[in-house]
Homo-oligomer: A and B are copies of this chain.
Amino acid sequence: MASAHNHLLHEGQSLADAAQRAFERAGEQWTPMRAEIFAALSAATKPASAYDLAETVSGSTGRRVAANSVYRILDVFVAANLARRVESANAYIVNAHPECEHDCIFLVCDSCGQASHVDNDELTGSVRRAAEKAGFTNLRPVIEVRGCCAQCSEGDAA
């Protein structure tokens, strides 16, 4: 209901292609290392920490990739809207529609760790306005909800 505009939701190669296009449009280089990290991030089933990604990419490339390299690249990804940081999980998640800017709402399951995201510009807009009214500028809203997802609730029902 909330978000009525059409997103292009990408996955797999289509997502990587879209990401690369958006990334290069932002003036950044799509290097092999960056592609590897993006792939690892897209393949993750839940928010991944920089160290998770370092390990994954170390495995997939056979070469040791240090955490600081991953952090550097994640920073660029976040700046270019290819990825988001989930603050309450100290982890990162791929942005499945890198072509449009959004304030996202993340729902993060305390039990299984999976995160889903909700777009609701009306709601995030209200949060922005509240901050602006308080004199804040350069806003970066962090809107997340920790809780127990539907799947885990079922499973737990003893």
Interface residues of A (CB under 8 A from B): 2, 87-88, 105, 107, 109-110, 116, 118, 120, 123, 126-128, 130-131, 134-151, 153
Residues of B near A126 (CB, < 8 A) are: 123, 126
Q: Which residue of B lies closest to A111 (CB)?
A: B138
A147 partner residues in chain B, CB cutoff 8 A: 131, 136-140
Query: Given A123-B123, A145-B140, do A130 and B105 touch, yes or no (CB 8 Å)?
Result: yes
Q: A153 — which chain B residues lie within 8 A by C-beta?
A: 135, 137
Distance in Å: Cβ of A113 to nearest Cβ of chain B: 14
Contact B145 A141 (CB under 8 A): yes
Complex Cα distance, B118 from A127, in Å, reads 10
